Amino acid sequence: MRRHLPIAVVLAGIVAAPLVLPEYYVTLLNYVGLAGIVTLGLVLLTGIAGLTSFGQAAFVGLGAYATAVTTTVYGGTPWLGLAAGLALTGLVTLFLGFITLRLSEHYLPLGTIAWGIAIYFVFGNLEILGKNSGIADIPPLSLFGRPVEGAGQMYVVIWGIALGALLAARNLLDSRLGRAIRALRGHTTMAASLGIDTGRLKIVVFVYAALLASLSGWLYAHFLRYVSPSPFAINGGIDYLFMTVIGGAGQVWGGFAGAAILTLLREWLKDLLPRLFGHDGNYEIVVFGLLVIVLLQRTREGLLPCLARFVPTPRRSARPTHAEPLPRRQQPAAGEPLLEVDQVSKQFGALAAVNGLSFDIRAGEIVGLIGPNGAGKSTMFNLITGVLAPSSGQIRFRGHRLEAMRSREIARLGIARTFQHPSLLTELGALENAALGAYLRGSAGFVAASLRLERAEEAGLLGEAGRQLERVGLGAFMHDTAGSLPLGSQRILEIARALCADPFLLLLDEPAAGLRHFEKVALAGVLRSLREAGVTVLLVEHDMDFVMGLVDRLVVMNFGQKLAEGTPAVIRVEPAVVEAYLGGVR
């Protein structure tokens, strides 16, 4: 109950504001609501997905100008103007998304600045848009045949839509798609290995954020009943991004908190500073800039996450138990050919990381891929999972050629993997991280997730995650954040995530690294139980005691080539292996 008290207080304040505040402050709160809708999109796009955009003000302008032209030039209704604005914004952002989202690092925000400036100049130079003079006499909104006029009436509409959009975004993030969106920030290789189409998802989030901005522009146009280019310049885009960062880019309420701080503080400084200095001037810009710098230094994650530390968060004690188990794949018969690597090579310039390697794996085996550091083992993993494309040779999995496939396509065939360095969403709990592995076992889209219509599917995914965590011995830690777990437990968590995909073939990259002796014994037991259940395992590992007592066969690599292959008993006494890898110790 105490956890939800701050939200209840804020909601009560929002409801009571137009009843107790003067019209001037109600108008300011309308501006806060309009900006909050835009920053909500930026929370998803920048704070969660990690895609920085300075151009959201241009999308606000598209929504505003579309409804202004529809209602004043063509005599349409404001609701037709809303449809026109959303359609136009959707088409423009699809085009810009395909171009811009291919960029990375600092090129992406620079690209958003470029098209933001371009769209702003379009607003100021088209005759139908009134050029720099803009469009006046925009009709008011109407609800049930009655016009919505005045700050108080528009307050109800603006904040009703704002809170509805906030609830939808919160629902979205608390879903299978929300976990996938979080994985876009610095974990695209991991996300693709789980079957997530990262390129498509980036574009969808980009369009989602733009449509929210366009919705805000529609409200803005019918609130002021006048639009001109100046509010939609690149400065406006920078303001929206500032609001998001100041409030807390990682939380849906953060954008609204930042919008309130920026809007109200700016107006307060405009009134206060001229009185202090004795004459007019834009002093608020300087003072506001200094305050923002101090705020970001003290609360780098934003003001809201900083305040949230003082709100107790109860720890849940159990996994969901009310869901039906997810359907499982029929594992192939023991001994059936599963993976065939045929004369595969991978060149990086003059360096041959893998050179003519051949081996095969049959269903029901645990096969070890070993060799000295730099032998090419992790490169071979990346070739099998589509992270890299081979320079020559063939990789076949159950009759499918993998060389030209992408990671997400290979994941759909039933191959799951872990990574040499754990790739986890450290701010989420172990349960949510494991559930990410079951992404392909769900199908709910953005609309269903936003409206919370996929709760049965979500319960099934979380239930599967809980079962796999208990299977690998992490059941007691399923609600601990992944970042708080020790390294060894993080590696085990990755295995649970991979198992949630219900794979035919499980690729483990150094799973025992960082584990204590009893944890290694437990892990070996888990892997043996997987073999008994029909799951095939290929693992890279440097702990020879762990490997020799576990695997059915070993493939030894050295300088990218196969040095030897056979059972642990054979490999242990192979002279070439002893010399190259085991250091002469038998």
Judge if 95 and 118 occupy the same domain: yes
Q: Residue 378 falls within a domain, yes or no?
A: yes
**What are the tens digits of pLDDT across the range 420-431?**
889 999 999 999
Pairing of strands 337-348, 226-227: unpaired
Judge if 104 and 221 occupy the same domain: yes
Reading the block at residue 74, the tokens are 């063509």
Report pLDDT for 586: 45
Q: Residue 325 falls within a domain, yes or no?
A: no
Q: Residue 374 falls within a domain, yes or no?
A: yes
Domain hosting 85: range is: 24-233
Judge if 45 and 114 occupy the same domain: yes
How many residues are listed for the chain in this entry?
586
CB proximity list for 37: less than 8 A, separation 6 or greater: 161, 162, 165, 212, 213, 215, 216, 219
- Tell me what the mean pLDDT of segment 225-235 comes to: 94
Judge if 457 and 541 occupy the same domain: no
**What are the tens digits of pLDDT across the range 76-125?**
999 999 999 999 999 999 999 999 888 877 888 999 999 999 999 999 99
Judge if 63 and 111 occupy the same domain: yes
Q: Residue 43 falls within a domain, yes or no?
A: yes
Q: Residue 328 falls within a domain, yes or no?
A: no
Q: Residue 293 falls within a domain, yes or no?
A: no
Q: Distance (Å, rounded) from C-alpha 187 to C-alpha 428?
A: 14
Judge if 477 and 361 occupy the same domain: no
Judge if 408 and 528 occupy the same domain: yes
Judge if 478 and 517 occupy the same domain: no
Judge if 77 and 137 occupy the same domain: yes
Q: Residue 225 falls within a domain, yes or no?
A: yes
Judge if 89 and 198 occupy the same domain: yes
Report pLDDT for 583: 56
User: How many domains does one find in the chain?
Assistant: 3
Global pTM? 0.91
Whether 364 has a pLDDT exceeding 70, the answer reads yes
**What are the tens digits of pLDDT across the range 168-218?**
999 999 999 999 999 999 899 999 999 999 999 999 999 999 999 999 999
Examine the fold and report which residue of 218, 233, 248 is the final residue of a domain before the chain moves on: 233
Query: Which residues is 351 bridged to in the sheet?
Result: 348
Examine the fold and report which residue of 187, 217, 233 is the final residue of a domain before the chain moves on: 233
- Tell me what the mean pLDDT of segment 409-422 comes to: 94
CB proximity list for 93: less than 8 A, separation 6 or greater: 59, 206, 207, 210, 211
Whether 585 has a pLDDT exceeding 50, the answer reads no
Judge if 124 and 205 occupy the same domain: yes
Whether 331 has a pLDDT exceeding 60, the answer reads yes
Examine the fold and report which residue of 233, 256, 278 is the final residue of a domain before the chain moves on: 233
CB proximity list for 533: less than 8 A, separation 6 or greater: 331
Judge if 468 and 508 occupy the same domain: no
Q: Residue 54 falls within a domain, yes or no?
A: yes
CATH number of residue 386's parent domain: 3.40.50.300
